[in-house]
A and B are shown apart, each in its own frame.
Chain A
Amino acid sequence: MSSPRGGDKEGGRDGERQIHVLAVDDSSVDRAVIAKLLRSSKYRVTAVDSAKKALELLGTEPNVNMIITDYSMPEMTGYELLKRVKESPTLREIPVVIMSSENDPDKINRCLEEGAEDFLLKPVRPSDVSRLCGRMRS
């Protein structure tokens, strides 16, 4: 079983290209929960604990179908990660979903205006993950 601390990977199925979601959250609890929710929907998940690690991974492994990131993280926020992804010619097509425990309309609008695919309020539910299904990068 993979560890939710720092970073972890799940292997894809043999002979099939599994949808790969990159989950970013500095909270080990929330990272474990979102990773499990995504794996339960049969996605391959890589979970990292910072936006910096997310960008490092995207630099070496661009075949990510969606990024789902917490908003409030130290050093680089999920919003800043969103901006960096949307500014990058190689990454801009990857849909980015923002998660937050705060229902702040200004924050939500700012993210959507910057190109976020969706904004999920924590705790994230299975129904939230289900509605992301058709919005993965193909």
Chain B
Amino acid sequence: MELHKLRRVYIEFASFVFHDGILDNQYTQLQQLQDESEPKFVLQVGTLFLEDSEKLLNELRSILDQQDVDFEKLDAFVRKLTGSSASIGAKRVKDACMAFHDCCKKGSKEGCLKCLQQLTAEYRLVKRKLETLFKMETQILAAGGSVPLLSQ
């Protein structure tokens, strides 16, 4: 696909991702930080987010699998994911984390299990979108172009 078309498809795809609140302007802030010294900064940070999130979700599942749930430990992991999702601009994941945090405070195992389900769904959604964005960004750079800055 030629560069002009690649950029147009990227912008169209990204506009839906932003419109649906899956990513917010924090993602754009990261794009603005990207420069010649770190041309793949967004890809690196995004990859770190996906790796860390998988580990954090596994920790959350493991804690909720226990007979007696350690809600403080659970909340600590939820807060970590809240922070990293906010840093990448994964707004719906962050919002799901905040709902999860409220359930941890109430000490409701059932509530937390539902929150984990919702959080997992939001994470899988942002993962798909980010992977698609990264793939298109790589294609644009390989074609000699620059990645368009996105906005809500």
Contact = CB atoms under 8 A, between A and B. Distances in A.
Interface stretch (B14-22, B41-49, B112-120, B124-132): B41-49
A110 B23 CA distance: 33
Interface residues of A, number: 22
B83 A27 contact: yes
B25 to A, nearest CB: 10
Contacts of A102: 79
Contacts of B44: 4, 32
Question: By CB atoms of chain B within 10 A, which of A1, A30, A40 has the most?
Answer: A30
A29 B29 CA distance: 14
A121 B86 CA distance: 11
Contact of A36 (B26, B41, B52, B83): B41
B52 A27 contact: yes
Contact of B84 (A1, A4, A30): A30
Interface stretch (B3-11, B30-38, B102-110, B143-151): B30-38
Interface string A13-30: 000000000000011111
A85 interface: no
Contact of B87 (A1, A29, A39, A40): A29
Contacts of B79: 72, 101-102
A29 B82 contact: no
B60 interface: no
Nearest to A34: B87
A122 B83 contact: yes
B52 A28 contact: yes
Given A4-B48, A40-B33, A27 B84 contact: yes
Contacts of B32: 126
A104 to B, nearest CB: 11
A101 B48 contact: no
A26 B84 CA distance: 11
B29 A30 contact: no
A110 B56 CA distance: 28
A125 interface: yes
B45 A123 contact: no
Given A101-B82, A126-B29, A1 B38 contact: yes
A123 to B, nearest CB: 5
5 contacts: A32-B45, A33-B33, A123-B29, A123-B89, A125-B29
Interface of A: 1, 4, 26-30, 32-33, 36-37, 39-40, 70, 72, 74, 101-102, 122-123, 125-126
